[in-house]
Amino acid sequence: MRTLVFIPAWNEAASLEAVIADVRTHIEGADILVVDDGSTDSTAERARAAGVLVASMPFNQGLGAALQTGYLWALREGYDFCAHLDADGQHPASEVARVLAEVQADRADLVIGSRYAKQTEPLPGVAPQGEDYKATLTRRIGINVFRLLLTLATRQRFTDTTSSMRAANRRVMKLFSENYSPDFAEIESLQLAVREGLRVKEVPVRMLERTGGSSFLTPVRSAFFIFKGLVVILVGQFKPRHAGAER
């Protein structure tokens, strides 16, 4: 079974090498792809120097396009499973490995690593909520709003709709390679996957503060993000279903 771990990155030269090393340590045997989303720093050069696969976008196209590139690569190159994580050091590869294991065991088609899912029992290495990661006030508001609306829209409970620590099988690769939003990819993709009958699951994970760079989300941008996200969820409810992703 072949596995691809892809890392969307935009100007993450400061943290990328450590993230790649962490993936190699905890997800042995997986190929690593860095999707360079039109970075203006040395992100692509550092990825190549680390000896991983690199897909460079001609200019910055946003997270959705970078993630779809990763799913397309995984599908076309014949991988059985894929996972992705942020390039800023917030996602420990040991946690990504646990998320990936759920898909590899065929317990779900798409698995999301959730900062807020409650642990039904103590898990080794998984810190209690909030111990390692503290979201800003505006981010917490957005997360809670999206959590409520997406749960109502899909009739499936979600706790961390904006998490970009995820793992998937070929059914998901096929669906997302053909249908993936350039904006609000994390939210709309969950809505799409549930509507298409895929098995979507959350598992509790530990996340950290970013180790390099800075978030692009300011309070004003966060408010606008929340507003547009609400529109995306509403429109998604009226979109026609696709033919479905084959096994």
The pTM of this model reads 0.82
pLDDT in tens, 190-224: 999 999 999 999 999 999 976 655 555 555 565 65
Domain ranges of the chain: 3-236
Which amino acid does the sequence have at 138?
A: T
Percent of the residues in the chain that have a pLDDT greater than 70, as a whole number: 75
Mean pLDDT of 150-170: 91
pLDDT in tens, 90-136: 999 999 999 999 999 999 999 999 998 876 555 555 444 444 455 66
Of 163, 173, 215, 223, nearest in space to 193 by CA: 173
Q: How many CB atoms lie within 10 A of CB 126?
A: 17
What pLDDT, on a 0 to 100 scale, did the predictor assign at position 158? Answer: 92
CATH homologous superfamily of 3-236 equals Spore Coat Polysaccharide Biosynthesis Protein SpsA; Chain A (3.90.550.10)
Of 181, 179, 197, nearest in space to 246 by CA: 197
pLDDT in tens, 30-56: 999 999 999 999 999 999 999 999 999
